[in-house]
Amino acid sequence: MIRDAVLRRTLAAYREMPPGARLHNYVRALTCPFPLIEPFVPREGAICDLGCGHGLFSIYLALRSPARRIIGYDLDEGKIELARRAARGIPNVSFSVADAREVEVAPCDAVVLLDVLYLMDDAAQDRLIARGHALLRRGGVLVVHTSDTRPRWKYRWARGQETLAVRLFGITRGQTLNFRPAKELAVVFDRLGFHTRMEKTDRGYPYPHLLFACMK
């Protein structure tokens, strides 16, 4: 059951979508701690959601605060089309087809990477994080939500589910499944000069959810 009223409004925007997309987004809303992640995103300003998929979190951010201006980017044209349809009537969010690693925009107040890093190898992850750093203005924040490798039972559960989503059902595009330990990612953020706060967001979830809020 979805208790967050704004998240229920967000899901309602997808009610006329194909059944598969509706189910995917409902499961996403159940299993990803959107209400715990959202407070780390500035309440106003320009926000880039890189690898936004169907745009569920982008629309949630937009409904949470009309002072935010969100642009979501994803390589999947079909998902972006559905995101645009869902966002009709919501003036502070838009979507574009683009490779997150090559996006060119004016300096942002926040860049969001929500559960996208694990689909890349280490080098590609490092490049995307560096791209996020480059897109931020001074004082901006890179919000990275990912999965840790601890505790092991949650890691195994998450990896099994994502194996089905990527390799069997093709719900998510990806060439690999690469969950990196928190300490390794922290080194990447430190190397770029971020001031980083790490938060576990897995309480009540069978997934090793982990969030980094990285200030430039």
pTM greater than 0.85: yes
Q: Name, in order, each residue with C-beta under 8 angstroms of 16's C-beta and a sequence gap of 6 or more.
A: 85
Straight-line distance from the first to the last Cα atom of the chain, in angstroms, rounded to the nearest whole number: 37
- Which CATH architecture does the domain made up of 5-215 adopt? 3-Layer(aba) Sandwich (3.40)
pLDDT at residue 118, rounded to an integer = 92
pLDDT in tens, 132-166: 999 999 999 999 999 999 999 998 988 878 777 66
- 171 has pLDDT over 70: no
**CA dist 142 → 9, 25, 44, 74, 213 (Å):** 26, 24, 15, 17, 6
- Extents of the domains making up the chain: 5-215
Per-residue confidence band for 173, with pLDDT thresholds at 50, 70 and 90: low
- 169 has pLDDT over 70: no
pLDDT in tens, 82-108: 999 999 999 999 999 999 888 989 999
